Structures are given as structure tokens and as C-alpha cells.
Amino acid sequence: MNRQRFLPRERFQSLIDQLKAAGYDVVGPQVRDHAIVFDALTKVEQLPIGITDEQAPGRYRLEKSESRRCFDWATGAQAIKPMTFVARETLWQSERLPGGGISFHDTLTETRPVAIIGVRACDLAALSIHDHHFMRGAHPDPQYSQRRQSLFLIAVHCMRSAATCFCTATGDGPQARSGYDLVLSELDTGFILEAHTGRGLDIVLQMETEAVTAEQTEQADAGILRAARQQHRTLPAGPLQEKLVSAVEHPHWQTLNDRCLSCGNCTAVCPTCFCQTHVDEISLDGQQASHVRQWESCFNPDHSHIHGIVIRSERSHRYRQWLTHKFGTWEEQFGRSGCVGCGRCITWCPVGIDVTGELAVLCKRNEP
């Protein structure tokens, strides 16, 4: 069978139904509090039908359109990061034993299989970075690994870019190329489904689909091209490590010091940021303790608190650390930049700091 099939819009519910029949909890994008987020999905009507987004530095607005499309928006407030690297979780618990010893229990529980509909190319690229970090080292993270292995991913090729998107500059989108089971191209009349794994194909075979016409393929290709052409933000020619490291004394860091609020929004929405902190929460009677992991941000002064000293006490130092690591030294560590061009840090920065603009200034000349 050709791995591409057409699913008319009025039969889109059958995809959710088949995933449920195959034993998956289904998750998809939905509007909550004026933003698009991922949540449990049972009905097609829950998807953001006829919703588009307007994004700019420090600005995110949803708008109604006449379209019947479900994915006619660029990126939501969060990627799928919270579903694999959760914001706060207990890793283990301990308790005092009557004889004076301590017992430890891990808190790993069974994870149900989850199918996520609507994963974008940039978010798949970020997931691949997290897989590398959490699963491929000498000590794979059990919590992350278990959740990650339970995922069935249904990607969507982007046919519309926000003004803040720059995945063409990082090479990660707008077309989803790998890392998924199924991919959708949304047309006005329905969806081209393309299976990339055996289990993806099994789902497609259960549905009543049609052959894909040449015209539908052309429409899908044109949509992806349109999304690419809508992007205007660029990055300085790389690699950026040397340029950023040699710009360590650049006066522009002071400008950023004066603008940045150190709120950490950029790291919370970034699909590749994975800094974390660990705390032990002890019961009042001192008999039990829970070891908790939670998201941390390098914009938090305490993040660089070592041996009684906050190493990056100035906001400019923290911003410099974030930008230089993300776009420069990350390359040395992981073999690629830590940015997938989703643009979220630009949209969700309350003062509209724009990484592409800041990099252009910082990399223009290396000396202050």
C-alpha cells in the first residue's frame, strides 16, 4: 500500500477513534485561556477549528477565521516538553526505619500509551535533542525514558508560519521529516496521512481513506513552501560559538541587562531547555522525605549559586550564559545548536527581547 492516503475532513474523528481503539490516550491542541495548549482529546470539535495566531515579540493573540482547518496556527504556548520532561515530579521517597536505617523507594509507575496529534517539525527536533540528553548517556533517565517510549506521535506539516518563527534558519522546519509515526498535511477538504512506522501504517489501514490525487499533493507542497516563505527572521552565519565567546565583553550585554526582567519565561517555553533543580521535601516529623525534581531556569540567580557565591549575579551575565550556551557552546556539547527556531522565546518574552535581533548585534563584530 502507498503510505500516503487521503482522509476527508468529515472522517477526521475516525483517527481519534482508531487511536483510542488501539489503546492510546489521545492528546491534541486546544484553546485554553486564550492560548493553544495540548490536552486530552476525544472529539474533533475540541481542536482549534478556524483559529489562527498572531505572534510578535511580546505578543500572542488568537483570532477567529472562516477556515475549517484545525492546524491553521503556528506554535502554541508549549511544545510537548511537559509531557516527557514534566515540570515537577517526585523521583524517589525515603523513610526512617525503626532500627535507625533508611529505606528508599522509587516512584516510577506504569505509563499509559499516549498518542499526540499535531506535533510540529520544530518540536520534533527539540524532542530529538531531549532524547539525546535524557536517554543516550551512560545513565538514561528512567522517568523520561518511560514516558518517551509510551508516545505515538502524529506530526503536522506547518502550512503557516508566525512572524516569530525561524525554523528555516535552523533547518528544522516547516516540514516534519523524521521522528514520528504518522504525519498530516492539512488541506481545506481533509488530510493527507503518511505513515512512517509500522504501527502508524496499522492505524491508517483501519480507517476509510482514499487515494491521494496529484492535485492534493501539490496543494500540500505549496502550503509548506508558503510557510517557509512567510519567515523573515534569520540567524548570523554559523557556527556561532566562536563569535559569541569572543563577544563576551560586548556592550550590548548591558543593553540586555537593562531590558531583561530575568523572569525565565523564555526558558519555560523553550522546547530544548532542560535545566532542573532537585529538592528534598521532609515531613514535619522527619520520618519521610520526597526527592523532587522541578524545572529550573538559568535566569534564576540561585541557579548559579555555588559554594556560597552567586556566580552570575547580573542579569546580563545570565542572559549571556543562556544565549551563548543555546546558540554557541551547545554545538560542542550536543553536535548542533540548542535552538530549533520555534520563536516561542520571542513571543513570550514580556519585554519583547528577540534572540534573532540580539544575535545579529552581538555577532556583527566580535570586539566591543
d(CA 351, CA 63): 22
| Interacting span for ligand SF4 (CB under 6 A) from 88-96, 112-120, 129-137, 351-359 | 351-359
204 binds ligand SF4 (CB under 6 A): no
Of 102-110, 191-199, 210-218, 265-273, the window that binds ligand SF4 (rule: CB under 6 A) is 265-273
The footprint of ligand SF4 on this chain (CB under 6 A) covers a number of residues equal to 25
User: For residue 309, which phi and psi values (nearest 5 degrees)?
Assistant: -125, 135
Told to check if 195 binds ligand SF4 by CB under 6 A, we report no
β-strands 88-96, 35-40 pairing: unpaired
298: contact with ligand SF4 by CB under 6 A: no
Q: Choose among 106, 113, 104: nearest CA to 89.
A: 106
Query: Binding to ligand SF4 by residue 326, rule CB under 6 A?
Result: yes
Q: How far is the CB of 343 from ligand SF4 (least distance, A)?
A: 5
d(CA 355, CA 340): 12
Q: Which helix (H) or strand (E) holds 52?
A: strand 51-56
- Which of 130, 320, 336, 344 touches ligand SF4 by CB under 6 A? 344
Spatial CA neighbour of 74 closest among 342, 349, 348: 342
Strands 114-119 and 151-156, by their bridges, are parallel
Residue 327 phi/psi, 5-degree rounding, is -105, -10
Beta strand pairing status for 35-40 and 25-32? antiparallel
* 187 lies in the site for ligand SF4, by CB under 6 A: no
Q: Does 330 bind ligand SF4 (CB under 6 A)?
A: no
The reply to whether 76 sits near ligand SF4 by the rule CB under 6 A is no
| Out of 57, 190, 271, 328, the residue judged to bind ligand SF4 by CB under 6 A | 271
Contacts with ligand SF4, 205-244, as mask; x by CB under 6 A: ----------------------------------------
Please identify which residue in 261, 279, 282, 311 interacts with ligand SF4, judged by CB under 6 A.
261
Closest to 179 measured CA to CA, from 152, 159, 198, 158:
152
Interacting stretch for ligand SF4, rule CB under 6 A, among 46-54, 205-213, 228-236, 347-355?
A: 347-355
Q: What is the CA radius of gyration of the chain?
A: 22
**Is 77 a binder of ligand SF4 (CB under 6 A)?**
no
Compute the least distance from the CB of residue 158 to ligand SF4, in Å.
14
Phi and psi based region of residue 185 (left: phi greater than 0; alpha: psi -120 to 50; beta: remaining): beta
How far apart (Å, rounded) are the C-alpha atoms in residues 304 and 318? 9
Site residues (CB under 6 A) for ligand SF4? 260-266, 269-272, 299, 326, 339-345, 349-351, 353, 355
